[in-house]
A and B are shown apart, each in its own frame.
Chain A
């Protein structure tokens, strides 16, 4: 039919959502700088809320609710109802929570709760909502990515173990929460309980320490703004020098004490624009029940996954000017390109990153265009791997060379299947299983092929030894991970009524008897850590740096080990030392093509043994470090 021919070729089929999420709750309670709702700020001929409603519709969610304030009702109700949403007009956060608790009570499906005034790429929402590896979880980013006012969180093995709100603090934060929370159907009852508990807490007046935490946050934000102003001043002065044809470093570095003093001075009397922004963000934080619900779930011990933003666009403008700015940077940003790039797994090794993923993603896109499924690619990759093993088994030089090429290609296709699954969001548990099992199968088929090719008893022993070494290394990986996750799951969470997240948080908050933060950050003398950072701050444009405090000897060794990551290139060397899959395939291919199977196994065994020693040392240190910190 002609109409079929005219349909856009790039149209994606709707993704399948995981966790049986059926309902969306959009929280439109923050005010913009003009006093109206931030969700009604203009975007692309419509409003932010319209954009989000359209995205939620594309994701195929059945029930859509918009929670808003009486003064925003007039501006938002028509838009919301046009988008098929039910509008809940609530006087304040406690009523918001009551409404959400009512929706969740007895509901059979899962929920997605989002700030209605954020601009997010659809790809980022899909990443959170469609991934079967995340049941209940959040959209998150690195600590700097959340900006000055982002709510922080802490991850352990990829799991969110502490979250913050206007009234809750996080110790040793490592990520920022981007205002989108997904609750799988299985956790809906807990979600309803958390909402009801938070509603009661707000109804009874804020619990002890909550308003003080908000004051503390405001002081921190004020200080961060002061620091930004000072850094901008210094940068401008250096720009002037450069413009005058002089060297930038002619401006002498500031003494750390002076830097800290000046920062406080600026923080106390911020420029009016910053002052207005601070007031706006503080007010928005007080209305933000999404963060509160997140803290409620985390404190109830719900397993909270984290879906990284991975280069997709996110912004929460809150003013007309900021919206225009966001629209400008979004215009420069190519969502399709990011989608392809984000399909590449984050933590790959050196060889995979530089010799495979550089072009495998285009193969993945091509596979998507001709409609191949990830599982088809997985099976094809295994076939190529078996062909490689067969070529090795000939024992001829030509066979070794052909086998090397085939093995490399099979590894490329092996990366393609996962990238294709992430790119097209066609995930399946069975596909992931098949991929994992076939990965191992290919590697071991290559070993068998090489041993057949060499056809001596001695090489069979070497091949079996390499098989043993590799399965042992995997066994340690799996078991160490399982122990770690178990320990994380068993760590008790404090009740949601408590503002700081744990003992460390309480210690940081100084006053030991009240659990409350010590106010007067601006009047207090700079800490040693702040002074250390001041020197760095003056030179660089780096983002907020927040550091953990190492203690015991094993912890200190581990911390200094992590510091080495800042040396460019060293992080790749560290990854290579662990002998990841890409390096193993590369070694097999190169040595098989050039030398004999005996050489291949000797190199594999030597590097593998080194890697075993290297990773086990790190884990033993970590085991000791945790032992020391266990009793409290």
Chain B
């Protein structure tokens, strides 16, 4: 039982996502920790777990709107992070697993829009800017795999904090009264990191082109 659980968890955090869907989720260290500790003991497919988190989040957003207090906001986001985080530890192999990255994405983006509108003023523009940068990250996860044959660097998962880490960071910034400015700063910093890493990877990659399949009738226009 107690034979170095720390090492087991460490292994799980260190390992790159095993499947394409796990890569698309963009989990950070916290979500992976929740998945590795709690998630693997819950004998339920991952989608219902993530949907419990998402349904609670969306219900409160609909009920409270932009009048929500910071306390409510923090509690509901924590609720979503816990459930969706736990779902990351379940194998994404059943037939419904394709909905998971989307569910995680909606939770992250909707939370940011919500936070922006409770702050008001230019915070909604700030939320748009941050979501636009995150959208680049999330398309990059797909397109790099498709056209380079491998996902973006693994250290980005830690540096960017994953959807979980970013949600907690923005909630803390909200509590510290740093919004809306912090949203723009965060968007700018992330944009620089993401674009630099992508450009660097293509500079390395162009030396060794490989054939990667793109079967016709591909999706995504």
Contact = CB atoms under 8 A, between A and B. Distances in A.
Interface stretch (B35-43, B128-136, B169-177): B128-136
Interface in A408-462: 428-430, 432-433, 436-437, 439-441, 444, 447-448, 451, 457-458, 460-461
A457 B117 contact: yes
B144 interface: yes
B98 A467 contact: no
Contacts of B97: 479, 483
A155 to B, nearest CB: 8
B106 interface: yes
A627 B219 contact: no
Given A476-B98, A581-B221, A623-B95, A468 B110 contact: yes
Contacts of A429: 147-148, 205, 209, 212
A444 B136 CA distance: 10
A440 B136 CA distance: 8
B215 A430 contact: no
A556 interface: no
A303 B213 contact: yes
A184 interface: yes
B105 interface: yes
B131 to A, nearest CB: 5
Contacts of A581: 221
Q: How large is the interface on A (under 10, 10 to 19, 20 to 34, 35 or more residues)?
A: 35 or more
A474 B209 contact: no
Contact of B144 (A306, A433, A451, A481): A433
A121 to B, nearest CB: 19
A499 B207 CA distance: 44
B217 A347 contact: yes
A305 B215 contact: yes
A619 interface: yes
Contacts of A580: 221
A428 B206 CA distance: 9
Given A465-B113, A471-B135, A482-B24, A623 B96 contact: yes
B100 A479 contact: yes
Contacts of B125: 451, 457, 460
A464 interface: yes
A464 B116 contact: yes
Contacts of A306: 215-216
Interface string A184-228: 101000000000000000000000000000000000000000000
Interface string B121-146: 11111011001100110111011100
Contacts of A432: 147, 214
Given A457-B124, A460-B125, A471-B138, A346 B216 contact: yes
Given A479-B99, A482-B20, A619-B98, A433 B219 contact: no
A133 B140 CA distance: 18
B190 interface: no
A477 B219 CA distance: 6
B95 A158 contact: no
A448 B143 CA distance: 23
Contacts of B211: 18-20, 132, 134-135, 184, 186
B109 interface: yes
A347 B96 CA distance: 26
B109 A471 contact: yes
B139 A437 contact: yes
Contacts of A440: 135-136, 139
A464 B127 contact: yes
A480 interface: yes
A461 B213 contact: no
Contacts of A134: 211, 213
A475 B102 contact: yes
Chain A interface, DSSP helix/strand/loop, else mixed? helix
A437 B140 contact: yes
A480 B221 contact: no
Contacts of B128: 447-448, 451, 460, 463-464, 467
B105 A477 contact: no
B131 A468 contact: yes
A159 interface: yes
A432 B206 CA distance: 13
Interface string B193-217: 0000000001001100101111111
A157 interface: yes
A471 B103 CA distance: 11
A343 B148 CA distance: 23
**Residue from B125, B140, B206 having most chain A Cβ neighbours under 10 A:** B125
Interface string A355-397: 0000000000000000000000000000000000000000000
Contacts of B98: 476, 479-480, 482-483, 619, 623
A375 to B, nearest CB: 12
Nearest to B127: A464
A486 B20 contact: yes
B220 interface: yes
A441 B20 CA distance: 23
A321 interface: no
Contacts of B182: none
A429 B221 CA distance: 17
A251 interface: no
A202 to B, nearest CB: 31
Contact of A471 (B105, B117, B120, B221): B105
A626 interface: yes
A67 B217 CA distance: 35
B215 A467 contact: no
Interface in B28-79: none
14 contacts: A158-B216, A430-B147, A439-B221, A440-B139, A460-B124, A472-B106, A474-B139, A479-B97, A479-B98, A482-B21, A483-B21, A486-B19, A623-B95, A623-B96
Interface of B: 19-21, 24, 95-102, 105-106, 109-110, 112-113, 116-117, 120-125, 127-128, 131-132, 135-136, 138-140, 142-144, 147-148, 202, 205-206, 209, 211-221
Interface of A: 18-20, 132-135, 157-159, 184, 186, 303, 305-306, 308, 346-347, 349, 428-430, 432-433, 436-437, 439-441, 444, 447-448, 451, 457-458, 460-461, 463-465, 467-468, 471-472, 474-483, 485-487, 580-581, 619, 623, 626-627, 630
Closest A-B pairs by Cβ, 6 of them: A158-B215, A133-B214, A460-B124, A135-B211, A477-B219, A468-B109
Given A133-B215, A134-B213, A479-B21, 19 more contacts: A158-B218, A159-B213, A186-B211, A306-B215, A430-B147, A440-B135, A444-B135, A451-B128, A460-B125, A468-B109, A471-B105, A474-B142, A475-B102, A478-B219, A479-B99, A479-B101, A480-B219, A581-B221, A630-B95
